[in-house]
Copies of this chain bind each other. A is one copy, B any other.
Amino acid sequence: MDSSAAAEKAAMDAMTEEERIAYKEQKKQAKDKEKAAKKAEKEARKAAAAAAAAAASAPLKPVTYRGGDEPAPTQMYGDYAVIQSTTPPGGSGRTFVRVDGLRMEVVDEEGMVWVRGRVHTLRAVGRNVFLVLRQSTSTVQAVLAEGGGTSKAFVKWASKELPVETIVDVHARLSPAEVKSCTQGNVELSVVRMYVVSRAAPTPFSLEDAARGEPTSADDALPRVGRDTRLDGRVVDLRVPPHQALLRVQSAVSGLFREFLTARGFVEIHSPKLIGGASEGGADVFTLDYFGRSACLAQSPQLYKQMAICGDMERVFEVGPVFRAENSQTHRHLCEFTGLDFEMQITEHYSEVLDCLDALFVSIFDGINARCTKELEVIGAKSPFEPFVYSPAGTNLRLEYPTAVTMLREAGVEQGDFDDLSTEVERKLGELVKAKYNTDFFILTRFPSAVRPFYTMPEAEDNRYSNSFDVFMRGEEIVSGAQRVHDVDMLAQLAEGKGINVASLKSYLDAFRYGAPPHGGAGIGLERVVMLFLAAGNVRECSMFPRDPKRLSP
């Protein structure tokens, strides 16, 4: 058994029966789908390889011809040489208009515009060529028609020698038109000049196929592109509007996270990722040689943000990579993801942390809805999803662990008082909460001490429970947090109780010896938040270049 097969077996062993069946089914479907895609891909790759080989053996194009200049006033089309900054900005006298800014008001005195875009689609009909030009997620129709200043040769060149995804500069007359298939539905370009900025080889898959959502009828047998194929060609996949939109939402979420916390006096920190010892215990850690010593990649900024608190930074946050050498191939695990972490002094009670967290998430959810309307639309068009249900800041559900256990048992789920929740049980709890409280978002508090790390503050009244919490979105955990133990004696005793070698914790424990403020905090998985808000189904869609046990490139 090779290592990836072993990894899969291990992952399947860890699943429940139900998960196993779903996994197999999913795998089969994916396989079927990918078969067709792979065939097309193979052919495309062959062509691309041939083109690349031909190009590689050809000499470089001469570099004396300046990109940005027209070849001559009489030459209306052709390839630029590589643009090498010979024309200073404005030097060519051209002002380029963005595709999403194409309105009748923006034309020059001759009714013309310059546009740079990709050839999204191209169709030759008689003496006309109909193109759709794309720029990021916006599209516009362009027409090249023989006659006037447009030669037969120009039209032939455009129809035969412009592969899709090629980047072109177009000088065109803008006119009103009704074009339902483009995002710019009220205008159209009549092309006068057209120059190639950068030619595209045949792409490994078609953007159109990749943009297709799940079939909604049984007789929809149109080709789709499997996730692995898409991720292998992620550069092309990122151009697919709903896919790029997911990452634009991801970008908004980390921005909203920082804005909220910065406004509340939190300071951004950058903690080291190369550390002397494992940050969350010895398991699932990447190790490496560090100038002759052994180092680990940080599994979280946990210890460092606590040290910042002990250093009187008072309130800190970090947005940064988190590394987990976990050999699981599920829809929600990555070996490298972006952690949104914060930690704060508290005065008397860790509900101060919960209040912050509740308001933080509401600010993020509100922010996505307000700032990403275009992205939500594009994503929803491919993969419709139920709007995410939550309440105003400070009013979101906080459920205690024992209450959750009772709810689960009443619904027929076997769940021990002090046992951890399995992924399956978490999902069930999410359903029960949704049915009872009509929310996709809640905080589960008072987790059993036994299932939390040693640095979690036990409850004073009953130390079988702890001052800790998870946050759930659509029945999946996206945040873990707690009041931390700030007392060095208690910390050492709890570590020992969990069977941890206290000597190995020396530099961590030392941080608490010189007076430590009571504090608490949380760690949020950025990609999971995006996945669950948008019901995107797989965390890999929400990471630009995802890493899992099988994937280390691109």
Closest to A63 in B: B460
Q: Could you tell me if B66 and A200 are in contact, using CB atoms closer than 8 angstroms? A: no
> A397 at interface (Cβ–Cβ under 8 A)?
no
Question: 1/0 per residue A257-294: CB within 8 Å of B?
Answer: 01000100001111111111000000000111111110
Known contacts A52-B513, A67-B518, A91-B348, A336 near B272 by CB under 8 Å: yes
- The stretch among A140-148, A218-226, A319-327, A433-441 that forms the contact with chain B is A319-327
- Report the separation of the CA atoms of residues A502 and B60 in the bound assembly, to the nearest whole angstrom: 15
- Report the separation of the CA atoms of residues A496 and B87 in the bound assembly, to the nearest whole angstrom: 28
**In chain A, residues 224-238, which have Cβ atoms closer than 8 Å to a Cβ of chain B?**
234-238
- Report the separation of the CA atoms of residues A297 and B64 in the bound assembly, to the nearest whole angstrom: 39
Least Cβ distance of A123 to chain B in Å? Answer: 19
> A549 at interface (Cβ–Cβ under 8 A)?
yes
A273 contact from B250, B273, B304, Cβ within 8 A = B273
Least Cβ distance of A187 to chain B in Å? Answer: 21
> A192 at interface (Cβ–Cβ under 8 A)?
no
> A244 at interface (Cβ–Cβ under 8 A)?
yes
Known contacts A272-B336, A311-B244, A483 near B85 by CB under 8 Å: yes
Q: Could you tell me if B236 and A84 are in contact, using CB atoms closer than 8 angstroms? A: no
- Report the separation of the CA atoms of residues A347 and B552 in the bound assembly, to the nearest whole angstrom: 33
Closest to A51 in B: B513
Q: Could you tell me if B136 and A349 are in contact, using CB atoms closer than 8 angstroms? A: no
Least Cβ distance of A201 to chain B in Å? Answer: 4
- Report the separation of the CA atoms of residues A323 and B270 in the bound assembly, to the nearest whole angstrom: 13
Known contacts A238-B313, A251-B268, A286-B288, A460 near B338 by CB under 8 Å: no
**Chain B residues with Cβ under 8 A from A128's Cβ?**
none
Q: Could you tell me if A308 and B118 are in contact, using CB atoms closer than 8 angstroms? A: no
Closest to A167 in B: B515
Least Cβ distance of A286 to chain B in Å? Answer: 5
Least Cβ distance of A303 to chain B in Å? Answer: 8
Least Cβ distance of A67 to chain B in Å? Answer: 7
Q: Give the number of copies in the complex.
A: 2
Q: Could you tell me if A335 and B552 are in contact, using CB atoms closer than 8 angstroms? A: no
> A409 at interface (Cβ–Cβ under 8 A)?
no
Q: Could you tell me if B493 and A273 are in contact, using CB atoms closer than 8 angstroms? A: no
**In chain A, residues 74-107, which have Cβ atoms closer than 8 Å to a Cβ of chain B?**
82-89, 91-92, 96
**Chain B residues with Cβ under 8 A from A82's Cβ?**
485-487, 490
Q: Could you tell me if B286 and A321 are in contact, using CB atoms closer than 8 angstroms? A: no
Q: Could you tell me if B310 and A349 are in contact, using CB atoms closer than 8 angstroms? A: no
Least Cβ distance of A204 to chain B in Å? Answer: 8
Q: Could you tell me if B552 and A290 are in contact, using CB atoms closer than 8 angstroms? A: yes
Least Cβ distance of A283 to chain B in Å? Answer: 14
> A463 at interface (Cβ–Cβ under 8 A)?
yes
Q: Could you tell me if B287 and A84 are in contact, using CB atoms closer than 8 angstroms? A: no
**Chain B residues with Cβ under 8 A from A307's Cβ?**
234-235, 238, 545, 554
Closest to A48 in B: B513
> A370 at interface (Cβ–Cβ under 8 A)?
no
- Report the separation of the CA atoms of residues A295 and B502 in the bound assembly, to the nearest whole angstrom: 32
Question: 1/0 per residue A304-345: CB within 8 Å of B?
Answer: 100110111110000111010101000000011010000000
**Chain B residues with Cβ under 8 A from A539's Cβ?**
none
Least Cβ distance of A364 to chain B in Å? Answer: 14
Closest to A509 in B: B52
Known contacts A236-B311, A270-B338, A274-B547, A85 near B200 by CB under 8 Å: no
> A116 at interface (Cβ–Cβ under 8 A)?
yes
> A191 at interface (Cβ–Cβ under 8 A)?
no
- Report the separation of the CA atoms of residues A286 and B105 in the bound assembly, to the nearest whole angstrom: 55
Q: Could you tell me if B313 and A56 are in contact, using CB atoms closer than 8 angstroms? A: no
> A373 at interface (Cβ–Cβ under 8 A)?
no
Q: Could you tell me if B323 and A274 are in contact, using CB atoms closer than 8 angstroms? A: yes
- Report the separation of the CA atoms of residues A319 and B304 in the bound assembly, to the nearest whole angstrom: 18
**Chain B residues with Cβ under 8 A from A250's Cβ?**
270
> A108 at interface (Cβ–Cβ under 8 A)?
no
Q: Could you tell me if B286 and A86 are in contact, using CB atoms closer than 8 angstroms? A: no
Q: Could you tell me if A60 and B490 are in contact, using CB atoms closer than 8 angstroms? A: yes
* Sample (26) of A-B pairs whose CB atoms are under 8 Å apart: A55-B489, A60-B490, A63-B460, A85-B467, A85-B483, A87-B348, A88-B348, A91-B349, A198-B518, A200-B514, A201-B513, A235-B510, A235-B514, A247-B313, A255-B262, A269-B544, A273-B323, A274-B547, A276-B553, A286-B289, A287-B288, A288-B297, A290-B552, A295-B552, A304-B544, A320-B320
10 residue pairs, one from A and one from B, having the closest CB atoms: A238-B311, A200-B515, A288-B288, A84-B460, A68-B348, A276-B553, A85-B349, A201-B513, A83-B518, A251-B268
Question: 10 new A-B pairs (CB below 8 Å) besides A89-B352, A167-B517?
Answer: A68-B349, A89-B351, A201-B514, A238-B313, A247-B267, A275-B553, A286-B289, A307-B545, A308-B544, A510-B554
A residues near B (Cβ < 8 Å) are 3, 7, 48, 51-52, 55-56, 58, 60-61, 63-64, 66-68, 82-89, 91-92, 96, 116, 118, 134-136, 165-167, 197-201, 203, 234-239, 244, 247-248, 250-251, 254-255, 258, 262, 267-276, 286-293, 295, 297, 304, 307-308, 310-314, 319-321, 323, 325, 327, 335-336, 338, 346-352, 355, 457-461, 463, 467, 483, 485-490, 492-493, 502, 507, 510-511, 513-518, 526, 543-545, 547, 549-550, 552-554
